[in-house]
């Protein structure tokens, strides 16, 4: 199955999940894994309870496992080219669980500066309070800067494949090589690219995280997150850095048992995330949300293809308008990472980017208020086109200098381009530019 094309896998991979016999009985087999909206599962036989708690067999409680959630995980692992996936309640939960499966108090993370503001806050404010330091690398294309930031206690490198706000791209093979040399994984947030456009694991990364709330679901109706692991954890090479993965486990009766690495081999990282971090911290997705994410994934390639084509047309159109000072879209030849985009994004350049209007924050406000097809909201990857003013929303709590360093000016707007007819998007933008630029400047007394 995994050798078939992406669009075939996105609709056929999810059904290869075994469901409890008692749930299907002799009933016809459902073509789509049903919504097992249940907190738990009955033990068919007395011994099944012991087998579940002992060897992890079968389903017992949805925080530990659920067939609807499993089906989506199966699909995601196949689409990302990973060995296993873990679905969580949100993208933030996915990043948190992925990192806490690797690093503990006294540890250190090296992260790109150019990441989702929620993740920056997580690293800077929350993970820091657990005694885990993060060094932010601003020059993400400088391999030496990544190398120089690594300390003996570094346990993960973190970056986004395509980043907010200026569409910076990471040279994944180059930074994965640095990570490999140090025996630590490169963790990539692949939300903006999706596995349809880019598969970090195939380029050398070891852990992928997603906000499934965005493109994977696509319909904008649920939150979700996912971790996908390469399955390439090497206990011999990296065991000393990750003692929790190689330390003896506890067997029945409390006697020492095999370590996670001995039990699960190259899957030790995601097995630890699944068995220990996720169920203890508890960000379990609802089976209903998992089902809706699974439904979304079945049309991922069609949406992303259309969204990318629309986005390229919109970016080209904006770049040619005199009212627009700059467009930060990796698909445009003028973008600093365009060569990398051409190398790594063969199927399209994505559909989330920023552009900056000539004018100030009031110009941006008039523009947003004049749009009719675009929805003004904080979300992305939706089938609908969306617009947001970063300086007063996602990046409001930064200083002007910090904002400028991230490419967020008073006139900067972020768009997420949907699947609408592109002529309607251009018409809407054109009308809003006319209003925003022609409106009289407010008289200041």
Ligand X SMILES: *Cc1c(COP(=O)(O)O)cnc(C)c1O
Q: Which stretch binds ligand X (CB under 6 A): 51-59, 112-120, 233-241, 288-296?
A: 112-120
In this structure, are residues 23 and 45 in contact, taking their beta carbons and an 8 Å threshold?
A: no
Strand positions, DSSP E, 197-247: 207-211, 225-229
Nearest residue (CB) to ligand X, 318 versus 380: 380
Q: Angle at CA 163, nearest 5°, toward 371 and 332?
A: 70
**Shortest Å distance, C-beta 73 to ligand X:** 16
Q: Which stretch binds ligand X (CB under 6 A): 187-195, 273-281, 386-394, 402-410?
A: 187-195
167 near ligand X (CB under 6 A): no
Contacting residue, 34, 58, 81, 118, with ligand X by CB under 6 A = 118
C-beta neighbour count of 253 within 10 angstroms: 6
Site string for ligand X, 407-436 (x = CB under 6 A): ------------------------------
Asked whether position 92 contacts ligand X by CB under 6 A, the answer is: yes
Asked if 36 interacts with ligand X (CB under 6 A), we say no
Residues 304 and 194: their CA atoms lie apart, in Å, by 8
The C-alpha angle 231, 244, 136, rounded to 5 degrees, equals 75
| 329 to 215, 314, 338, 427: CA distances (angstroms) | 18, 10, 8, 20
- 191 is a contact residue toward ligand X (CB under 6 A): yes
Cα-based distances in Å from 160 to 133, 172, 183, 339? 19, 9, 20, 17
Number of residues counted as binding ligand X (CB under 6 A) = 16
Instruction: Tell which phi-psi region holds residue 167, choosing left (phi > 0), alpha (psi between -120 and 50) or beta.
Output: left
DSSP line for 309-337: HHHHHHHHHHHT-TTEEEEE-TTSTTSTT
- The span of 29-37, 90-98, 106-114, 122-130 binding ligand X (CB under 6 A) equals 90-98
Q: Least distance (Å) from ligand X to the CB of residue 331? A: 18
| Residue 289 binds to ligand X (criterion: CB under 6 A) | no
Residue 211 or 238: the one with the smaller Cβ distance to ligand X is 211
Quick one: 84 or 211, whose CB is closer to ligand X? 211
Specify the residue, 96 or 238, whose C-beta has the smaller distance to ligand X: 96
Binding span for ligand X by CB under 6 A among 41-49, 186-194, 294-302, 323-331: 186-194
Q: Is 116 a binder of ligand X (CB under 6 A)?
A: yes
Q: At 332, list the tokens.
A: 């445009």
d(CA 2, CA 180): 26
Q: For residues 54 and 282, which CB has a smaller minimum distance to ligand X in the complex? A: 282
Rule CB under 6 A: is residue 90 a binding residue for ligand X?
yes
Q: Is 119 in the site for ligand X (CB under 6 A)?
A: yes
- The 10 Å Cβ neighbour count of residue 363 is 20
**382 is a contact residue toward ligand X (CB under 6 A):** no
167, 213, 289, 363: residue in contact with ligand X (rule CB under 6 A): 213
CA 297 to chain centre: 14
Least distance to ligand X, CB of residue 214, Å: 6
Minimum CB–partner distance for residue 180 and ligand X (Å): 24
CB of 224 to ligand X, least distance (A): 7
116: closest CA among 148, 94, 92, 152?
92
Given 225, 359, 390, 410, the residue binding ligand X (CB under 6 A): 225
261 touching ligand X, by CB under 6 A: no
* CA 59-60-61 angle, 5° bins: 115
Kindly state whether residue 120 participates in binding ligand X, applying the rule CB under 6 A: no
State which H helix or E strand residue 92 sits in: helix 91-100
- What's the min distance (Å) between Cβ of 1 and ligand X? 28
Q: Is 296 in the site for ligand X (CB under 6 A)?
A: no
| Residues in region 145-164 near ligand X by CB under 6 A | 160
Count CB-CB contacts under 10 A for residue 78. 23
386-404 per-residue burial string, b: 16 or more CB within 10 A, e: under 16: bbbbbbeebbeebeeeebe
Please tell me whether residue 281 adopts helix, strand or coil conformation: helix
Regarding 214 and contact with ligand X (CB under 6 A), the answer is yes
Beta carbon nearer to ligand X, 21 or 288: 288
Residue closer to ligand X by CB (options 225, 350) is 225
Q: Give me 284's structure tokens.
A: 């379990």
Q: Are 261 and 127 in contact (CB under 8 A)?
A: no
Given 65, 91, 220, 296, the residue binding ligand X (CB under 6 A): 91
Q: Which is nearer to ligand X, 67 or 225 (CB)?
A: 225
Q: Which among 57-65, 185-193, 195-203, 429-437 is the span making contact with ligand X, rule CB under 6 A?
A: 185-193
Q: Which residues bind ligand X (CB under 6 A)?
A: 90-92, 116, 118-119, 160, 189, 191-192, 211, 213-214, 223, 225, 380
């Amino acid at each position: 199955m995994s050798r078939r094309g992406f669009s075939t896998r996105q609709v056929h991979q999810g059904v290869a999940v075994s469901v409890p016999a008692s749930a299907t009985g002799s009933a016809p087999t459902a073509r789509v894994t049903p919504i097992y909206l249940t907190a738990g599962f009955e033990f068919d036989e007395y011994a099944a309870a012991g087998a579940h708690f002992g060897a992890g067999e079968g389903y017992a409680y949805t925080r530990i496992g659920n067939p609807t959630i499993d089906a989506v995980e199966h699909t995601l692992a196949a689409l990302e080219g990973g060995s296993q996936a873990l679905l969580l309640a949100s993208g933030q939960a996915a990043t948190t669980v992925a990192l806490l499966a690797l690093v503990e108090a006294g540890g250190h993370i090296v992260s790109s500066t150019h990441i989702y503001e929620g993740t920056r806050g997580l690293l800077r404010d929350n993970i820091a309070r657990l005694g885990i330091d993060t060094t932010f690398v601003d020059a993400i294309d400088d391999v030496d800067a990544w190398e120089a930031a690594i300390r003996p206690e570094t346990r993960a490198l973190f970056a986004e494949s395509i980043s907010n706000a200026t569409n910076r791209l990471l040279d994944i093979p180059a930074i994965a090589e640095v990570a490999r040399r140090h025996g630590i994984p490169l963790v990539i947030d692949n939300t903006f690219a999706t596995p349809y456009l880019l598969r970090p694991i195939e380029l050398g990364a070891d852990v992928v995280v997603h906000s499934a709330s965005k493109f994977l679901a696509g319909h904008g109706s649920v939150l979700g997150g996912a971790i996908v692991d390469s399955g390439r954890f090497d206990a011999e090479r990296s065991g000393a850095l990750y003692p929790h993965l190689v330390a003896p486990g506890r067997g029945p009766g409390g006697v020492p048992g095999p370590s996670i690495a001995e039990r699960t081999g190259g899957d030790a990282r995601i097995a630890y995330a699944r068995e220990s971090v996720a169920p203890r911290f508890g960000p379990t997705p609802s089976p209903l949300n998992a089902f809706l994410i699974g439904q979304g994934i079945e049309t991922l390639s069609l949406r992303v293809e259309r969204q990318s084509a629309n986005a390229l047309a919109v970016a080209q159109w904006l770049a040619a308008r005199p009212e627009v000072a700059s467009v930060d879209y990796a698909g445009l030849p003028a973008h600093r990472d365009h060569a990398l985009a051409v190398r790594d994004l063969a199927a399209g350049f994505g559909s989330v980017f920023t552009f900056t209007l000539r004018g100030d924050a009031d110009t941006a406000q008039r523009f947003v208020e004049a749009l009719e097809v675009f929805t003004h909201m904080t979300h992305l990857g939706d089938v609908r086109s969306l617009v947001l003013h970063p300086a007063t929303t996602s990046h409001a709590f930064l200083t002007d200098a910090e904002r400028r360093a991230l490419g967020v000016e008073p006139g900067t707007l972020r768009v997420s381009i949907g699947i609408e007819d592109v002529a309607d998007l251009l018409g809407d933008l054109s009308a809003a530019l006319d209003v925003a630029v022609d409106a009289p400047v407010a008289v200041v007394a």
